Structure 1
Amino acid sequence: MPESVPMGQEQPSVAENIEKLGQTSPITDESNVYCLTIVGQIEGHLVLPPQNKTTKYEHIIPQLVAAEQSERIEGVLIILNTVGGDVEAGLAIAEMIASLSKPTVTLVLGGGHSIGVPIAVASNYSFIAESATMTIHPIRLNGLVIGVPQSFEYLEKMQERVTRFITAHSRISEETLKQLMLTTGELARDIGTTVVGRDAVDYGLIDEIGGLGQAMRKMYELIARDRETRPRGVLQ
């Protein structure tokens, strides 16, 4: 017979968690894969309005550090559905993911737009859903911009950083990437290109079309390979 739980100490049911929090209780005690979600708009130097769905830069970095330090975690799955956001914050997150010593897999669901593109390609292997999209366009500046050469030089250098990162972590060529960035007529009032799932793979941005099941299978494959090459005693 199962032990009874004292009055007032009942654990909330899954249904209650969904109703109150909008989510189920995360299953972390048995999993060796850490799931990191990047959704909405990436918040960096400026605090976004409260009605915006945001992924805060200062929240993501400690999670990545904790996953890297944990002996139990053997892989990190990054799930994206983002419109982009702060360029420096997004690029810093991408650099952190790329520098992890543990296997990483990214999965683009819905969208991986703007500065979400470097994050999507930062992992060891990337997937995109058939219906997901990625918007590729030049860096934009919001707010007051001082019209001096230094401002445009800074913008150009930042664009070079993003372009260099994307081409270094995917199969797309710099020429093709710049061509997609500077396309006119596809985006309303702007330049750039929106690529859908299959196109992202054909261009070499993303490795494969797939969903959660395929991403998890690839993750376990990378973990198994990592166990074979990792020195004994590093991960038990």
Structure 2
Amino acid sequence: MKPPIDLPILTEPRAGDLTVVQAARQALRDRRAAGVVVYVNSPGGSATSSEAMRAALTQIDKSKPLVVSMGPVAASGGYWVSTPGRHIFAQPSTITGSIGVILGKIVTGDLLDRLFIGRERIQRGKHTSIYEAETRFTKAEREMLWGSITHIYDLFLDRVMKSRGMTREQVDELGGGRVWTGRQALDNGLVDEIGGLGAAIARAKELAGLSPNAPVRMVTVGKTPLVPAANPAAMLEYALEGARFLQGTRPLCLSPLALDKT
């Protein structure tokens, strides 16, 4: 059940990298599966998680064809996990691309003091409190974090370069967080074909040397469901989990756009 207000990341269903990696390993070991189609509908997330899922999907494509079918959104981290696809399909209006990295934190300032909430911290190390919400990043911390962002962005470019057969300059021109529709992504070489899940399945059968009538098994990757609206405590806990995700403890590959699902 959806909450009355759509809050991207905070209350949307989320599939963790561990769940996806486990499903990918099962598909790799499954001798009955001659090919695999991955449906991607994600605005992105953690760069570390995106890379973990990409690595697991890459192992599949080494032994059996992997085809990617993009849903309404497959941007940033969603595009990152799509790069292992031997053939990538997108819908004409799919929001994709957004090859970029973002890192930050929510700064509360003296909010806790105003709420009469006291906090005490004992730390060792100059930058151990870098992600504390009460203070902004210092100049030295910004420079340090910029190095992390640059490293992740270079890795993102490398994954796209190898997947799409492009130079670094070509990918960078399409990157920088720029968002593309599926049709634009096709024109720019970021996807291979316009089509839906059915077309992706047909292509996977063709690549695997199967008959068009070969049976298809649908596997739904487990995702954390939205909590019932009748359970406000659970809804709050789930939203806080999303808020912690945005708190800045790791570099994110997150699309700046979201689609209205209504």
**TM-score, normalization by structure 2:** 0.60
Extract unaligned runs of 5+ from structure 2: 2-7, 106-130, 132-136, 211-262
* 2:70 pairs with 1:78: no
Look up the match of 2:148: 154
The CA distance in 1 between the partners of 2:201 and 2:99, in whole Å, is 30
Offset at residue 137 of structure 1 (A): 4.1
Look up the match of 1:104: 66
Paired residues in the alignment total: 171
The CA distance in 2 between the partners of 1:148 and 1:132, in whole Å, is 34
1:171–1:205 Cα contact (<8 Å) kept: no
1:134–1:194 Cα contact (<8 Å) kept: yes
Structure 2 letter corresponding to 1:60? V
Alignment RMSD: 2.3
- For the residue of structure 1 that corresponds to 2:82, the secondary structure is helix
Offset at residue 220 of structure 1 (A): 0.5
Offset at residue 154 of structure 1 (A): 2.1
Point out the structure with the larger strand share: 1
Q: 1:181 aligns with which of 170, 175, 178?
A: 175
Offset at residue 53 of structure 1 (A): 1.3
Q: 1:196 aligns with which of 168, 178, 181?
A: 181
Look up the match of 2:93: 131
Q: Any runs of at least 4 consecutive aligned residues in structure 1 with deviations exceeding 6 A, and if so which?
A: none
The CA distance in 2 between the partners of 1:138 and 1:78, in whole Å, is 22
The CA distance in 1 between the partners of 2:98 and 2:38, in whole Å, is 20
The CA distance in 2 between the partners of 1:119 and 1:105, in whole Å, is 12
Offset at residue 71 of structure 1 (A): 1.2
* 2:152 pairs with 1:167: no
1:121–1:205 Cα contact (<8 Å) kept: no
The CA distance in 1 between the partners of 2:59 and 2:30, in whole Å, is 15
Structure 2 letter corresponding to 1:81? N
Look up the match of 2:18: 58
**TM-score, normalization by structure 1:** 0.66
2:97–2:185 Cα contact (<8 Å) kept: no
* 2:112 pairs with 1:118: no
Offset at residue 114 of structure 1 (A): 1.0
Alignment of 1:2-81 (within 5 A): 49=10, 51-81=11-41
The CA distance in 2 between the partners of 1:202 and 1:158, in whole Å, is 26
Structure 2 letter corresponding to 1:209? I
Extract unaligned runs of 5+ from structure 1: 1-19, 21-40, 42-47, 183-191, 226-236
- For the residue of structure 1 that corresponds to 2:164, the secondary structure is coil
The CA distance in 2 between the partners of 1:107 and 1:113, in whole Å, is 13
Structure 1 letter corresponding to 2:86? N
Offset at residue 172 of structure 1 (A): 4.2
Over 3 Å counting, the alpha-carbon distance change for 1:209 and 1:173 in structure 2 is farther
